[in-house]
């Protein structure tokens, strides 16, 4: 344990990039308050689990983990366990009743209260704060970077979501949409560049509705300001909602070569009937028009997406519409999920989760198989070309191979030679799989 009075915190993070970014904010708040962060769970006095509620299996994973942590606590009764993030917000004090090993529950907008709550916990109490805020952006907090490579970092530019897609729990766990002061974003970005970071991803549930002080600055202006920090800084962003992705944003990307040629545009379904039930506020035709606009102005843009199979009342014909939109767009990459009903969402209240599990699985398998083919086709097009790679680390398989990504966000692996992490390297692609481009520096 500890050799002085400092308490050591181990943070385990589940779910989206926003959660990973929040864990860095929590680390900053706690280290400002005389706690230390440890990378070794065995050294921890306190374990924080930053949780995700997006699908039931994400919550089940945390429940299973809590059984293991409970066993750790039996061996070390002084160990404290905290649940942070979306599960804390969704389940509130119910989680304290259900999980006897848990000492503290803190929702995504209450992290500033953590040091105070931990004092109560040290006093032997159980503590909770799950108040959502209309203003909190943690804009003034400089996150403690927990990433390993020190090359790419995430900057949270806004919090919350109020799109209320029928299936989605996020508006309930992360509250109303609010944008962070651009000056704090730019200061953080500049500092990261000075520290040697070469790739920043601007994060929000829906970055296209970023607004500061009544439209003086929207997302295209912010993106442009970050891109101008230095041509050697790569800038990415996620996630965009198809209903809000503007011509102005696409034109901003065109103007800045260091804004990556990669857009994540979750389609969810190719069927207009499903999109309407999902409350997505666009239809297939609108989505395809946006894709056509992107491809016209940024012909080399990589496009990725999110897809849900088996949403309420989805028929085989609806599913085929999803398969056909995938072919039509030719996604480079997709995150693909089975619909999982979340309590209290619009869909849970209004519709029946009536697609049988076997059908959901069958359709998901078809979607995954198709995406595999589309990714391979997209990757094969790169064979023979030269791509610029920002090196992020060694390849998983060998210390003689480096790994990084190109502007389109594809993983590229090539022999190390004399190159190092953080270098930009031009790599000629000679081979590929559905997941990786393989080549050699030129
Ligand atoms: N079931 C399955 N997938 C979901 N997503 C969000 N809510 C659900 C749900 N209830 C997916 C969407 C979203 C991604 C982050 O997670 O595709 O874009
Ligand atoms: Fe959920 Fe829709 Fe908001 Fe994305 S835009 S977080 S899917 S409600």
Residue 149 confidence class, pLDDT cut points 50, 70, 90: confident
In short, whether 294's Cβ falls inside 6 Å of ligand 2 is: no
Backbone phi, psi, residue 386, to 5°:
-110, 130
For the cut 50, the answer to whether the pLDDT of residue 256 exceeds it is yes
What is the β-pairing status of strands 262-264 and 302-309? Answer: parallel
The string of pLDDT tens digits covering residues 273-292 is: 999 999 999 999 999 999 99
Residue 2 confidence class, pLDDT cut points 50, 70, 90: very low
CATH architecture of 7-129: 3-Layer(aba) Sandwich (3.40)
pLDDT given for residue 148 in this prediction? 78
pLDDT given for residue 214 in this prediction? 67
Largest CA distance in the chain: 65
DSSP character string of 18-64: HHHHHHHHHHHHHHTTTEEE-S-GGG-SEEEEEE--SSHHHHHHHHH
- The number of the ligand 2 atom at minimal distance from the alpha carbon of 164 is 8
Short-list 58, 275, 304, CA closest to 167: 275
The string of pLDDT tens digits covering residues 174-216 is: 999 999 999 999 999 999 999 999 999 999 999 999 999 866 8
C-beta atoms surrounding 298 within 10 Å: 18
Residue 3 confidence class, pLDDT cut points 50, 70, 90: low
For the cut 80, the answer to whether the pLDDT of residue 441 exceeds it is yes
User: Could you say which ligand is closest to the alpha carbon of residue 306?
Assistant: 1
Strand ranges for 207-358 from DSSP E: 211-212, 217-218, 234-238, 262-264, 302-309, 333-338
- What's the whole-number mean pLDDT along residues 356-371? 98
Short-list 148, 158, 216, CA closest to 184: 158
CA of 280 to the centre of ligand 2 (A): 9
pLDDT given for residue 215 in this prediction? 65
In short, whether 139's Cβ falls inside 6 Å of ligand 2 is: no
Ligand 1 atom 16: residue of nearest CA: 54
- Tokens encoding 311: 């949403």
DSSP state of 111: G
User: Could you say which ligand is closest to the alpha carbon of residue 209?
Assistant: 2
- Rounded-to-integer distance, Cα 349 and Cα 170, Å: 16
CB-defined site of ligand 1, < 6 Å: 54-55, 167-168, 266, 268, 306, 308, 337, 339-340, 342
Residue 412 confidence class, pLDDT cut points 50, 70, 90: very high
For the cut 70, the answer to whether the pLDDT of residue 317 exceeds it is yes
In short, whether 241's Cβ falls inside 6 Å of ligand 2 is: yes
Query: Where does 152-380 sit in CATH, by number?
Result: 3.80.30.20
| CB-based contact 415:400 (threshold 8 Å) | yes
Short-list 412, 402, 404, CA closest to 382: 412
pLDDT given for residue 244 in this prediction? 95
Short-list 239, 265, 408, 416, CA closest to 326: 265
pLDDT given for residue 216 in this prediction? 82
Domain 386-441 has CATH 2.40.50.140: yes
For the cut 90, the answer to whether the pLDDT of residue 383 exceeds it is yes
Tell me the best of 204, 207, 306 to mutate to test the pocket of ligand 1, counting ligand atoms within 8 Å of each CB and taking the most: 306
**Which residues partner with 202 through β-bridges?**
155, 237
- Rounded-to-integer distance, Cα 285 and Cα 195, Å: 44
Short-list 292, 374, 282, CA closest to 327: 374
The string of pLDDT tens digits covering residues 65-105 is: 999 999 999 999 999 999 999 999 999 999 999 999 999 99
Buried/exposed code over 97-116 (b: 16+ C-beta within 10 A; e: otherwise): eebebbbbbbbbbbbbbbee
In short, whether 163's Cβ falls inside 6 Å of ligand 2 is: yes
- What's the whole-number mean pLDDT along residues 211-226? 91
* Average per-residue pLDDT for the chain: 96
- Rounded-to-integer distance, Cα 388 and Cα 392, Å: 13
Q: Note every long-range contact of 222-228, with CB atoms under 8 Å and residues 24 or more positions apart, other chains counting.
A: 222/157, 222/182, 222/185, 223/249, 223/252, 223/253, 223/256, 223/259, 224/252, 224/255, 224/256, 225/182, 225/186, 226/185, 226/186, 226/189, 226/200, 226/202, 227/256, 227/258, 227/259, 228/256
Provide the residue ranges of all domains of the chain, joining segments of one domain with +. Answer: 7-129, 152-380, 386-441
- What's the whole-number mean pLDDT along residues 379-402? 96
Cα distances (Å, whole numbers) of residue 385 to 263, 301, 414, 428, 440 = 21, 15, 14, 6, 11
- What's the whole-number mean pLDDT along residues 327-339? 98
- What's the whole-number mean pLDDT along residues 389-404? 95
Short-list 332, 259, 261, 250, CA closest to 292: 250
In short, whether 436's Cβ falls inside 6 Å of ligand 2 is: no
Q: Percent of the chain scored above 70 by pLDDT?
A: 99
- Tokens encoding 328: 């039509």
C-beta atoms surrounding 126 within 10 Å: 15
Q: Percent of the chain scored above 90 by pLDDT?
A: 97
- The number of the ligand 1 atom at minimal distance from the alpha carbon of 340 is 1
Report the side by side order of strands in the sheet with 234-238: 152-156, 199-203, 234-238
């Amino acid at each position: 344990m500890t050799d002085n009075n400092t308490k050591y915190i181990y943070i385990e993070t589940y779910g989206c990039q926003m959660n990973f970014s929040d864990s860095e904010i929590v680390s900053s708040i706690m280290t400002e308050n005389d706690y230390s962060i440890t990378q070794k769970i065995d050294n921890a006095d306190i374990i924080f689990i930053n949780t995700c509620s997006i699908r039931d299996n994400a919550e089940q994973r945390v429940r299973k983990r809590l059984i293991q942590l409970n066993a750790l606590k039996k061996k070390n009764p002084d160990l404290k366990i905290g649940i942070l993030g979306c599960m804390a917000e969704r389940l509130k004090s119910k989680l304290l009743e259900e999980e006897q090993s848990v000492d503290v529950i803190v929702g995504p907008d209450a992290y500033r209260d953590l040091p105070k709550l931990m004092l109560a916990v040290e006093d032997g109490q159980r503590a909770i704060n799950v108040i959502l805020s209309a203003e909190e952006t943690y804009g003034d907090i400089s996150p403690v970077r927990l990433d390993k490579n020190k090359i790419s970092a995430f900057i949270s530019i806004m919090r919350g979501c109020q799109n209320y897609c029928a299936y989605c729990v996020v508006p309930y766990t992360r509250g109303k949409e609010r944008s962070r002061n651009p000056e704090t974003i730019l200061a953080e970005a500049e500092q990261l560049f000075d520290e040697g970071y070469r790739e920043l991803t601007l994060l929000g549930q829906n970055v296209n509705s970023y607004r500061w002080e009544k439209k003086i600055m929207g997302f295209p202006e912010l993106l442009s300001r970050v891109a101008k920090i230095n041509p050697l800084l790569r800038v990415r962003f996620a996630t965009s909602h198809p209903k809000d992705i503007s011509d102005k944003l696409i034109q901003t990307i065109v103007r800045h070569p260091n804004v990556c040629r990669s857009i994540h545009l979750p389609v969810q379904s190719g069927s207009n009937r499903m999109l309407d039930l999902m409350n997505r506020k666009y239809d297939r035709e609108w989505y395809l028009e946006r894709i056509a606009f992107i491809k016209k102005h940024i012909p080399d843009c990589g496009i990725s997406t999110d897809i849900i199979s088996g949403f309420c009342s989805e028929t085989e014909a609806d599913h085929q519409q999803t398969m056909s939109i995938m072919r039509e767009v030719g996604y480079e990459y997709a995150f693909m999920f089975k619909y999982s009903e979340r309590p209290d969402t619009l869909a849970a209240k209004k519709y029946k989760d009536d697609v049988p599990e076997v059908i959901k699985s069958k359709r998901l398998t078809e979607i995954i198989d198709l995406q595999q083919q589309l990714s391979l086709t997209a990757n094969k097009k790169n064979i023979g070309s030269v791509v610029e790679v920002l090196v992020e680390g060694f390849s998983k398989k060998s210390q003689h191979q480096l790994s990084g990504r190109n502007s389109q966000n594809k993983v590229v692996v090539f022999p190390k030679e004399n190159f190092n992490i953080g270098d930009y390297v031009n790599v000629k692609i000679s081979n590929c799989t559905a997941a990786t481009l393989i080549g050699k520096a030129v």
